[in-house]
Amino acid sequence: MSKVASNVSFTNEQVCYTFPARLRSGGVFSPAERLGVPPLDDFFTGTVQLLNIQILMIVILSNLLHFFLHRLGIISFTSQCLAGVILGPTILAKYDYYRDHIFPQKSQDALVVTANMGYSMFMFLTGVKMDFGMLLRSGRKVMILGIATVLLPYMIGLGFQFTRIEAAPGLLERMQIIGSTAIQSMTTFPVVSHLMTELKLTNTELGRLALSTSLISGIVAASLELGATIITQIRGILNAGLTLGSALFAAFVLRPIMVWVIGQTPEGQKVHPACVPLLFAVAVVYEIFFDAMNQSPAMGPFVLGLAVPPGPPLGSAVVQSMETVTTSVFFPLFVVTAVMRGDLASFFWEFDNKGYYGSSLVMATVTKFLVCLFLSLPWMPRRDSVVLSLIMCSKGVYELSVYTFHRDTTSINEGYFSLNVVAIFINTVIIPILIKHLYDPSRKYAGYQSRNLFSLKPRTELRVLPCIYKPDHIISTINLLDLTCPTQDNPLGVYALHLVELVGRATPVFVSHQKQKPVSDSCSIDVILAFNQYERRTATTTTVGTFTSISHHRFMSDDICTLALDKEVSLLLLPFHVKWGADGRVECADNSFRIVNSKVLERAPCSVGIFFDRTTSDGGDDQPDHFYSVCVIYMGGGDDHEALCFAMRAAREPSLRLTILHLVPSDDDDDDMSVSRRRNARMASERLYDEVVLKEAMKGISGLANVRYEEHAVEDGPQTALLVREIANEHDLFVVGRRHGLDSKQTMGLTEWSEFPELGVVGDLLASPDLETKTSVLVVQQQKQVKK
């Protein structure tokens, strides 16, 4: 037996350790009482028993607090911080028996090592769940926002510090303020990702925007940190170079290996059982390497996690294997033990320069909020801009880990550590509550950027997401995609989604057929083969990706909108729920898919087209001299603009005949006198804009001989219905705008008789069972932009 003095992690005191350590005690009823030691006290001397009791207390208390506090909008991280306050020297650790037996100094090494391992696992999982491709898809506005929200607050904060430099008495205090300004200026992806998960905003447009911005901000902050390492350390260049090299090794060596493993995994099957433990072992190696390079050890697993392809089968296997124990046990363990390091009560009266330090933190946070708000207001609604600014100001586990690391290495003093823990606690209390109060969940997929045909720039890829409900929809959908007439200058990106009802299994499945080998008995094999053949046929102008979603009907709309948001498509194509027979009459209808279509129309982050084809049953007209005739009915409004843009793309095909049928209201002075002057002016302005849009479209196809323009004046809805019936058999395809909620003279009186509101008034006329025709119809709804 030998005794040595050692510094422990929680407090800088000299204590005696006994070697070898006693891993297990003799139990509560051990013979230790013969030596004058109470049995319960002897039980607490075992390292294993003590560690189990400590973990049990931490997990139970943090979950019990969150059970009551989550009703107030408090997130789990805040509840865990509060548990650390209760279990630490602020409250319970002031009592001698608790401090000597429940959380004694000699037990803290085992507890801290376990907690730090849990934090590394959390960072690894955060990296695995992150799609690094969102950085490549970030627009210029998001890129500017991510960079500016780090650099501008940092520079303004430093300028503020230099104006008050005399308030800091020493070099250590000044370095602490500079470091704190840098930490307050950064926004890290792990913190934002955890917050979005807690608030259930990950799959929203706002959540994805926040994640993309935080990722860019994190890269900028990491670059600044590497630069500081090079400047301040003797071997800084070597450490930074090796750290960067390890990241490149993960991206360009390990990731291709993982992609190869995924490619060898049959579709719908799990990866080999050895893959997840092997990947975790590599994460441990990265943690050791980053620690050796004097970097944060947990950043090593995070960098490796970024290289793991997200989603099934590998990324989802890692998450399923590790997420529950990490988020339920190890993550709370780290947060609680980190907060337990500081006495958050005593610093209020023992810590000098509280005002100087506190004003620095407030200044950095306010500056960051205002910078983000100023840059996002021009292209976002005010309320959502405020919410995004609050998200970018959020702090959490990453900042807590940084302060804990510097506290343990004595880079900062106890008072300064406690101050920052209090600041993080206040931040995590206020910001989530404000976000829940300000954010409207009904705008989950609301778009801040234009994703529609009308706003698509020239020489830009058109991204389309066609949905396949049944095998009958495959041929008609591919024929409709052919009408987009892709070229090398204006290519087409197709992301075909096969939706299958979840039957006979408990959990939904989402499969990307680009990642895994398709199997012959796959439920989507017909879809995969058909679209692969379509891609080969249009190889120089079209790229195709196929996906399968197996879920309940009530969740299919979420799968559709999420994929549309992820792929940034401009047009969603949905099959109509009604199927026509060979004679052109209704054969069957599936109301469950009608509900799916209605939900997508309300939530979609892009334009939506509902398509039905009456000709697929008999193959259509096979005459060799037959020209495919398309008619677009134009009355004005955003939906009609979208329909016109689709028809203009189809006009590039020489074998196609396009008719633009412009329905204008006939002059009626009595009607004009009946409306208010303001409404009359608004209608005139909208009509003028519609004329400008039509004129610009006609100018673009002025040299095409296969385009014909017709103008008809109609008095009311019945006259429009009569005209539609007259021309119903003259064209193979009608392209119309949905015009939902728009009142006009051309459709007056028809809304009350509409059988299919999802098709709009004109689309409903063309889908009527009473209309004896075999024409097909595409009804287009332009993207619903959020209002500023």
> What is residue 21's predicted lDDT score, i.e. its pLDDT?
55
pLDDT at 384: 85
Secondary structure class of 14 (helix, strand, coil): strand
Tokens of 381: 């609604």
Structure confidence at residue 134 (pLDDT): 64
- CB distance 394 to 427 below 8 Å: yes
Q: Provide the pLDDT for residue 362.
A: 81
- Number of neighbouring beta carbons within 10 Å of residue 460: 12
Q: What is the pLDDT of residue 553?
A: 82
Q: How many residues does the chain have?
A: 788
222-256 CB burial, b ≥16 within 10 A, e <16: bebbbeebeeeeeebeebbeebeebbeebeeebbe
Q: How far apart are CA 279 and CA 308, in angstroms?
A: 9
pLDDT value for 113 = 86
The reported pLDDT for the residue numbered 9 is: 41
Long-range contacts of 167-170 (CB under 8 A, 24+ apart): 167/353, 167/356, 168/353, 168/356, 169/353
Burial tier of 705 (Cβ tally within 10 Å: 0-12, 13-18, 19+): exposed
Distance CA 463, CA 484 (A): 11
Chain-centre distance for alpha carbon 527:
27
Q: What pLDDT is recorded for position 6?
A: 34
Q: 365, 311, 448, 19: which is closest to 184 by C-alpha?
A: 365
| pLDDT for the residue numbered 430 | 92
Q: Report pLDDT for 356.
A: 67
Within the chain, which residues score under 50 in pLDDT? 1-9, 20, 32-34, 505-506, 520-521, 616-624, 669-675
Tell me which DSSP letter residue 282 carries: H
Q: What is the pLDDT of residue 231?
A: 60
Specify the pLDDT at position 624. Answer: 45
Rounded to whole angstroms, what are the CA distances from 410 to 28, 176, 252?
A: 39, 11, 37
- Per DSSP, 492 falls in state E
Side-chain half-sphere of 115: how many Cα atoms within 13 Å? Answer: 28
State residue 521's pLDDT score: 45
**How far is the C-alpha of 157 from the C-alpha of 357, rounded, in Å?**
12
Report pTM: 0.70
> How far lies 168's CA from each of 364, 403, 409, 418, 421, in Å?
17, 19, 21, 18, 20
Check: CB of residue 47 under 8 Å from CB of residue 23. Answer: yes
- Alpha carbon 618 to its chain's center: 43
Whole-number Å distance between alpha carbons of 437 and 507: 32
What pLDDT, on a 0 to 100 scale, did the predictor assign at position 695? 85
